[in-house]
Amino acid sequence: MTNYIKPQTLKGFRDFLPEDALKRQYIVEKVKETFKLFGFEPLETPTLEYASLLLGKYGTEADKLVYTFKDKGEREIGLRFDQTVPTARILAQYQKQLPRFFRRYQIQNVFRAEKPQKGRYREFTQCDIDIFGSSNPLSDAEIIACTYFSFKNIGFKNVYIALNDREALIQTLKPFSSEKVSVFSIIQSMDKLGKLTQEQVIQELIEKGLDKVTADSSLRKLLSIGPSQKISEITQLAVKLGVNSTDLPFSSTLARGLDYYTGAIFEVIVEDYGSGSLGGGGRYDALIEKLGGVNIPAVGIAFGFDRIVEAAEQLGYISLTKTGTQVLVTVFSSSQLAQSIEITIVLRRSKIPTEVYIEPTDKLDKQLKYADKKGIPYAVIIGPEEVAKNVVKLKDLAKRKEIIVKEEKLPEVILSVYPEIYRR
Amino acid sequence: MTNYIKPQTLKGFRDFLPEDALKRQYIVEKVKETFKLFGFEPLETPTLEYASLLLGKYGTEADKLVYTFKDKGEREIGLRFDQTVPTARILAQYQKQLPRFFRRYQIQNVFRAEKPQKGRYREFTQCDIDIFGSSNPLSDAEIIACTYFSFKNIGFKNVYIALNDREALIQTLKPFSSEKVSVFSIIQSMDKLGKLTQEQVIQELIEKGLDKVTADSSLRKLLSIGPSQKISEITQLAVKLGVNSTDLPFSSTLARGLDYYTGAIFEVIVEDYGSGSLGGGGRYDALIEKLGGVNIPAVGIAFGFDRIVEAAEQLGYISLTKTGTQVLVTVFSSSQLAQSIEITIVLRRSKIPTEVYIEPTDKLDKQLKYADKKGIPYAVIIGPEEVAKNVVKLKDLAKRKEIIVKEEKLPEVILSVYPEIYRR
């Protein structure tokens, strides 16, 4: 132990001090509550896998972003890159143990050797729900409804889940494709509508090699089509599952980047949050077979965890307390310590997160400043005067107001006058 | 995507399918509940750190067990090895932001390149609570009380926290040490009491190089001493914080392996669980300065997470349901799907985790078998007969009993007749 620690983290990696860790935990708890209600169950896979499991699964470009290394046994190791490939392994490895319809959620960190930049990290949390084993539209609808209510459970008011049919999209645009401009290239341009104007998209298609007439009519055709029968059915089922029908807009231009979708695709939009989608997914009936050799249809969605935390915070859905601790019980003097401890355990027994000040010789003022700096909303003061009268002082540190409360009434008062205590 | 996935995990790494993941989550939730109540707050640090942060911190032998590699930018990287060294970095890096008394818990996975063997893994969960910034015995007592009530909250009945004073232990045994047999070597042997008989320990000391008289009297001396003043004070404070005094045995032979403890040391023992301690810790006032150069006293404990899960399961404190889902709503036929969905959302609105069967054309029998295999305790059946009468059948799959319930009473009945629904 000769060398002191250098106080630095690797670029692209983050520490979460309590204030931020609490916010993230709050979002995790809220979505897990909903996942559980919808019958989804947790799955965890190791952080490290054989590199061969991960390489060649995400495309050549992505392979460069997989963290790989040789371990001390000369094995080629890779760090978790996403949650889909490990789940494909799970499906192949535990076929007999798993239920026919496997509804799982997975909330774990993944690693990408990307250039760090604003909002892009080398370690970040992925949060996925998927249903494996059914191609019935009810499973698409369950994913959509569970996503919708997860966002509602966090507090989001205007949540939309835009829907499209990837297959129909391809069929619609195929007639406009050519040897030079593939249907996927056209789809890529169409996906930019919203960010680009119609004119700009047409311009891009022309630059790619379509003639003006074809570019024009491909866009007109796409905008004119309505939801496929499949999408209508999924939408109806999602509405039956409680989703507001106006919150499920059909979007004929929605494409989603990944090639592996085979049916419905969807994207979560929160109106009041400007910076793009908060999640996306769809049906991918061929992928698990491609990866693992077992033919299992699948539908699922990935939540944009970091963005959800950011959006929820911006929109005021996460209480802004810096700490989960609700009360600091101060200590008047060493000889009064027993009283303070007594109050502390009474509050804890009432399920109120409570800290007792641990340096009894510090001045009261210092103790209150400590609570204030830490963001603890309430302080309890109990000096000889209060002890004599069997009361305590309850101080609201934000409002700088204090009230006198009978000792035995304290938990009740805190819980009733300050119901926001339950917020987190 | 040419190569199929090999369905294998690296040795020493584990998948947690829902049944196991749920058990682990249950324990995490229970201890977090208590941590929060005691005013502890979450901290998260990255999985990857500069290797230089980790190497040279745990001793030469341990250095070999740190997972290290070179990343694509030729940086020497290490995987999280424990939670103490990263926290020492946090304390040095964010000195001004952190509260004077930093009460943090940390529940993250760590990595050890050890030979995998029964009960030893290369990735496992660590769960620590510590208070930084105070050397007051009240902080020792808070750690002890929080640990005690965490175990009680899981359901453990006979929880003991054995205490000793590391400093007193050294002072007591120093007179018996020699150039050949260091005081630490004597301590090591004494620590085996319980596993070895007194005679065996004396024999070991003689083999190490003590003469018989010295070996004899060192043991007699050690067994004769009572708690130091410090330990008595901590015990009294812990009792005031609600710990049963008989659950805090003093153990003059308790040593704990790590050299860095400077004061009280403690160990969690659950009587009904045979396989050793479920957690241990103590005061380490010099370590943070040694590591990070900032003089911060500290006291804390590490929970043996895997063993706690094992013990809680063995002793029946974790409900043995295989799933968190409580009800499967079956679908009588495609034309009756709407009714089943309606029941599903009614149950979910009552906070009952519910799955709706997603292949409406499957026979009822197949649906019930699915629920049974998955371990879902209750199934709801709603056919044309039931619809006509506005009732549903509620089937208890374990007891193979069914009752008829009015549709609007269903959530109430499930919540009241089957209160164990709340168990998880």
pLDDT at B417: 64
* Nearest chain B residue to A26, by CA: B42
- CA–CA dist B47, B78 (Å, integer): 8
Chain B: nearest CA to A89, how far in angstroms? 5
pLDDT bin (cut points 50, 70, 90) of residue B423 is very low
Judged by CB atoms closer than 8 Å, whether chains meet at B138 and A358 is answered as: yes
Judged by CB atoms closer than 8 Å, whether chains meet at B38 and A374 is answered as: no
The position carrying tokens 């007594």 is A342
Q: Does A420 touch chain B (CB under 8 A)?
A: no
Interface of A with B in 300-329 (CB under 8 A): 323-325
Q: Does A242 touch chain B (CB under 8 A)?
A: yes
- CA–CA dist A36, A146 (Å, integer): 10
Chain B: nearest CA to A222, how far in angstroms? 31
Cβ-in-10-Å burial (0-12, 13-18, 19+) of B211 comes to: exposed
pLDDT at A423: 43
Enumerate the residues of chain B whose CB falls inside 8 A of the CB of residue A78.
none
Does the pLDDT of residue B398 top 90, yes or no?
Answer: no
Hey, what are B9's tokens? 């995990």
Could you read off the pLDDT of A347-380 as tens digits, one per residue? 999 999 999 999 999 999 999 999 999 999 999 9
Cβ distance A340 to A330 under 8 Å?
yes
Q: Which strands, in side-by-side order, build the sheet including A123-132?
A: A41-42, A102-111, A123-132, A298-303, A279-283, A264-270, A159-165
Of B34, B280, B281, B234, residue with least CA distance to B146: B34
Percent of chain A whose predicted confidence (pLDDT) is above 70:
97
**What mean pLDDT is reported for chain B?**
92
Section A200-212 average pLDDT: 95
Could you read off the pLDDT of A302-326 as tens digits, one per residue? 999 999 999 999 999 987 678 889 9
* Nearest chain A residue to B100, by CA: A370
Could you read off the pLDDT of A218-236 as tens digits, one per residue? 999 999 999 999 999 999 9
Of A93, A87, A133, residue with least CA distance to A299: A133
Hey, what are A366's tokens? 């210092």
pLDDT at A1: 44
Amino acid identity of residue A316, one-letter, is: G
H helix or E strand, kind and range, residue B311: helix B305-314
Cβ distance A129 to A40 under 8 Å?
yes
pLDDT at B421: 40
pLDDT bin (cut points 50, 70, 90) of residue B320 is low
Enumerate the residues of chain B whose CB falls inside 8 A of the CB of residue A25.
42
pLDDT bin (cut points 50, 70, 90) of residue A421 is very low
Q: Does B142 touch chain A (CB under 8 A)?
A: yes
Interface of A with B in 153-192 (CB under 8 A): none
What number of CA atoms fall less than 13 Å from residue B309's CA on the CB side? 19
Measured at the CA of A15, the angle between CA A11 and CA A16, to 5 degrees, comes to 145
Predicted ipTM beyond 0.95 = no
**All domains of chain A, ordered by start, with CATH?**
18-45+80-314 (3.30.930.10), 327-422 (3.40.50.800)
pLDDT at A178: 92
pLDDT at A376: 93
Judged by CB atoms closer than 8 Å, whether chains meet at A5 and B345 is answered as: no
H helix or E strand, kind and range, residue B104: strand B102-111
Judged by CB atoms closer than 8 Å, whether chains meet at A101 and B325 is answered as: no
| Strand residue runs (E) in B257-358 | 264-270, 279-283, 298-303, 327-329, 354-356
Q: Of A15-29, A63-77, A405-419, which range is least confident?
A: A405-419
The position carrying tokens 């859905």 is A317
Does the pLDDT of residue B391 top 70, yes or no?
Answer: yes
Could you read off the pLDDT of A98-147 as tens digits, one per residue? 999 999 999 999 999 988 888 789 999 999 999 999 999 999 999 999 99
